[in-house]
Structure 1
Amino acid sequence: MERYDLLYRLYDEFDTDTLREYQDFVDVFPPVDSRVALDHWQEASDELEERKDEIRQGFATGGTFAEVAARANREQAFTAQDLYSKYGRAVNALVLDVDETLRSAGSTDNEIPRDTLHVLTEFHERGVPIVICTGQTLENVKGFAIQGLGNELVHSGNMSIVYEAGTGVFTPGHGSQTKQLLYDDLDDEIRDVFDEIRSRVLPDAPDDLRRGIHLQGNEFNITLKPNFDIGSSKAETVIDEGLVYLLDLLADALTSADTDADTDQARQWTRAYYADADSEIREVLESEGEVSETPVDEIPEAVRALFERIDVAYYHADAAEIGSLELNKVAGVEAALDVLGVDDPFVAVMGDSKSDLRVMQWAAEHDAGIGAAPDHASRDVLTHVMDTDELVFDQGKSAEMLRTVYVLNLLAKLG
């Protein structure tokens, strides 16, 4: 019988909703020291097994279908089957952004939900490597990863952290490859630009801007964060101002890089180039009254070549950042997968920002995976996701998308 027919039968003939309720209760039941509570958990666990047994006995491959029904609703299961029909293989690594993807300040109190953490541990138990891919500092990511997933998983040798959007990779348990500082491989021309900007970014900032921002404690990238709640109107104001300020600092660094440009000309080139490259940056420059009228094709080739190696990123009411395009998340993910021994990757990429989009595009271009995003992701990310597999999930509901991928892997075992 065709797989789709079997799934229809599974969800039509069995009470899968109740089955999932029992599975969710058993999975995320908090550790308690109460005989009454433990007895209740045991009763639920016994009932869960009885319901799974009914499915096991009803299908030739009933064990797998019982797990499918316990993990996914009808829509998730059919989406997983669609993905298997299209790609014909299981996901062999997860590549996961954190902020506004695994966790969301808008709906999860900026904590990774317990159901999401549980699904990640189930992937780990099945041998699927996990790559946390974030713009945050390594210490921040290590802290919440150990707290949420446990020290044993983080140091299992099957998990990697790509931090600061690709400037470094941390993969515990791999000897000399445990920590890779990818920025060490950049040439002096680029490192000198970053050194100059970093030395000036706070001391030279206007007083009103300096009071409203702080510099994230990165090893390499230069990231301005607001001293206000992310997403608030005050955060929006200082980050928009901070973006213009960073562009001008980058322009000033150009004048020290043997480009034969005066400060005003360099600033016009910088604003013109990055406005042309990113519509959100253009909108900020327009709202701030700082748009350059210089045509992009008038930017000298040597200057353009330098711009093509330097990334300026804008995250609405959250951050403004300068990084190296040679050290984006794609470079970090490739380095992480190499250390983890994923030779023929087919990854599930989940993220919400332009830096995540680059990884999704890399996966699509190399037939190396699928991309998924929360419904509040940036416009370009959502456009890409809708144009590929339409894997969009609700804010704060990353576990639902992870379950879809988990079921894809279950179905792939059936061949």
Structure 2
Amino acid sequence: MERYDLLYRLYDEFDVETLREHQSFVDLFPPVDSRVALEHWEDASDELDLLKSEIRDALPGGATFAEIAAHADRETAFTALDLHAKYGRAVNALVLDVDETLRSAGGTDNEIPRETLHVLTTLHDAGVPIVICTGQTLENVKGFMIQGLGNELVHSGAFSIVYESGNGVFTPGHGSRTKRLLYEELDESVRGVFDDVRSRVLPESPEDVRRGCHLQGNEFNVTLKPNFETGSADAEAVIDDGLVHLIDLLGAVVVERADVEVGGGEGDDPPKSDAPAERGATWARAHYASADPEIREVLEASAAEGGTAVDPTALADVPEPVAALFDRIDVGYYRGDAAEITSLELDKVAGVEAALDVLDVRDPFLLVMGDSKSDLRVMEWAAERGSGIAAAPEHASADVLSHVLARDELVFDRGASARTLRTAYVLNLLARLE
């Protein structure tokens, strides 16, 4: 109980709010060419040192508690102490989703807030490697991370990017292991499906999809993105249509690649030339509707508007070679944002494992932050191994929130990822008191 008593003393007996305000001002002070502004910064820095010295002199382990007070409010500090009491470990790597986690279109103008970037830098400087784990392309992520965190940090050797949801890992500063193309380890039967779908998805799409979507510039995944503002009504409509088309095309390609005999419908003698494609689409709709209720909802809505209905009984007719390929390929749906196909053998978990291997993080204890199904897999992987804690924004998917609330209740407000990162920083400070 000693640490709890010391934290109570810290927040009850000292002016920690003023201390924290000075620390924030000193840390986030913008570079300006003004003598008056510089003098103001120097005064705040001197006052900060004075407030910290009072804590250092009054409490056992005072230097650590002064640092805690400078970076965390009472709730954050006690949350960190509860985590330390539960796990008894420091976080030794961060695994962080970007979109709607570190940044949010709804609250941060789709930019990573300066406060979040600063806390990431603080954790990195304290020796905690950072793994950015995203569905985006490498070049896009690398660009805005260098812009936000600086070229030196990104190329420090303690920073990695798992991109395209696990298809590749980029860890600068590690020689021949800097870039690992995990998708090259897949066999030709799967890679060929992706190649065919990628080359055909827009040329063979309905006009509204062809005009309203573009292909994200991935190395491997096939991702349709809207030509409208993410989350808008137009984006939702075109991504829903794109999802239906992508599933139908995937079914047709898998049937072609599996080279199975497909008969036509009733009265087709000989079978219609497009019967294999139609049958493949039927099987694909049934398979992916049964796997994901959101996808089923989109397919059923399309059927209600004149499209082809989902036939659950078709699952019993799927030939083994077709089913085997479906079981290796995932369809992702993100309302108003993207529809894509990915490899189930190369999810974010595979990417994180590869990144931690390159970073030489042994016996990991991770802070995993994310909002979607792909992030949930990493959270569950860490939980099963006793290898970390999970956090999510309040607008995360229901399954993610359920997992996080059942574990440690680390749910943060939209655009407020810095708060949870500060919790990890304080947890590590407390672990240092051992």
Q: TM-score, normalised by structure 1?
A: 0.98
What residue is the counterpart of 1:173 in the other structure? Answer: 173
2 CA distance for matches of 1:86 and 1:303?
A: 47
2 CA distance for matches of 1:189 and 1:373?
A: 36
Q: 1:332 aligns with which of 351, 358, 378?
A: 351
Of the structure 1 ranges 260-269 and 111-120, higher mean CA displacement relative to structure 2 is found in: 260-269
Whether 1:272 aligns to 2:286 is yes
What residue is the counterpart of 2:87 in the other structure? Answer: 87
What residue is the counterpart of 1:51 in the other structure? Answer: 51
Cα shift readout 1:45-102 (whole Å, capped 9, x = no counterpart): 1111111111111211011111111111111111111111111100000011111111
2 CA distance for matches of 1:38 and 1:297?
A: 73
Whether 1:258 aligns to 2:259 is yes
What residue is the counterpart of 1:221 in the other structure? Answer: 221
Shift of 1:303: 2.7
1 CA distance for matches of 2:328 and 2:343?
A: 6
8 Å CA contact retained: 2:102, 2:112: yes
Shift of 1:291: 4.3
Q: 2:296 aligns with which of 278, 282, 286?
A: 282
Cα shift readout 1:312-365 (whole Å, capped 9, x = no counterpart): 101110000101011111111100000000011111111111111111111111
Aligned length: 415
8 Å CA contact retained: 2:371, 2:395: yes
Shift of 1:307: 1.6
Matches within 5 A, 1:149-228: 149-228=149-228
Matches within 5 A, 1:115-130: 115-130=115-130
SS for the counterpart of 1:195 is helix
2 CA distance for matches of 1:250 and 1:31?
A: 52
Shift of 1:299: 3.6
Amino acid across the alignment from 2:250: L
What residue is the counterpart of 1:403 in the other structure? Answer: 422
Which structure's CA Rg is the greater one? Answer: 2
Can you give the 5+ residue segments of structure 1 that lack an aligned partner in the other structure? none
Q: TM-score, normalised by structure 2?
A: 0.93
What residue is the counterpart of 2:272 in the other structure? Answer: none
1 CA distance for matches of 2:427 and 2:383?
A: 18
What residue is the counterpart of 1:365 in the other structure? Answer: 384
Note the aligned Cα RMSD (angstroms): 1.2
Matches within 5 A, 1:73-84: 73-84=73-84
Can you give the 5+ residue segments of structure 2 that lack an aligned partner in the other structure? 263-275
What residue is the counterpart of 2:273 in the other structure? Answer: none
Cα shift readout 1:140-176 (whole Å, capped 9, x = no counterpart): 0111111111110011111001111111111111000
Given the superposition, is the C-alpha separation of residues 64 and 374 from structure 1 closer, same or farther in structure 2, using an over 3 Å criterion? same
Given the superposition, is the C-alpha separation of residues 86 and 299 from structure 1 closer, same or farther in structure 2, using an over 3 Å criterion? farther
8 Å CA contact retained: 1:165, 1:332: yes
What residue is the counterpart of 1:103 in the other structure? Answer: 103
Shift of 1:297: 4.8
2 CA distance for matches of 1:269 and 1:49?
A: 67
Shift of 1:302: 3.3
What residue is the counterpart of 1:292 in the other structure? Answer: 310
Q: 1:376 aligns with which of 395, 400, 411?
A: 395
Percent identity over paired residues = 70
8 Å CA contact retained: 1:347, 1:369: yes
Shift of 1:304: 2.6
8 Å CA contact retained: 2:391, 2:404: yes
1 CA distance for matches of 2:261 and 2:251?
A: 12
8 Å CA contact retained: 2:162, 2:348: yes
2 CA distance for matches of 1:297 and 1:14?
A: 69
2 CA distance for matches of 1:326 and 1:113?
A: 33
2 CA distance for matches of 1:260 and 1:49?
A: 78
What residue is the counterpart of 2:231 in the other structure? Answer: 231
Q: 1:345 aligns with which of 327, 347, 364?
A: 364
2 CA distance for matches of 1:224 and 1:163?
A: 16
What residue is the counterpart of 2:268 in the other structure? Answer: none
1 CA distance for matches of 2:295 and 2:373?
A: 12
1 CA distance for matches of 2:261 and 2:409?
A: 48
8 Å CA contact retained: 1:162, 1:169: yes
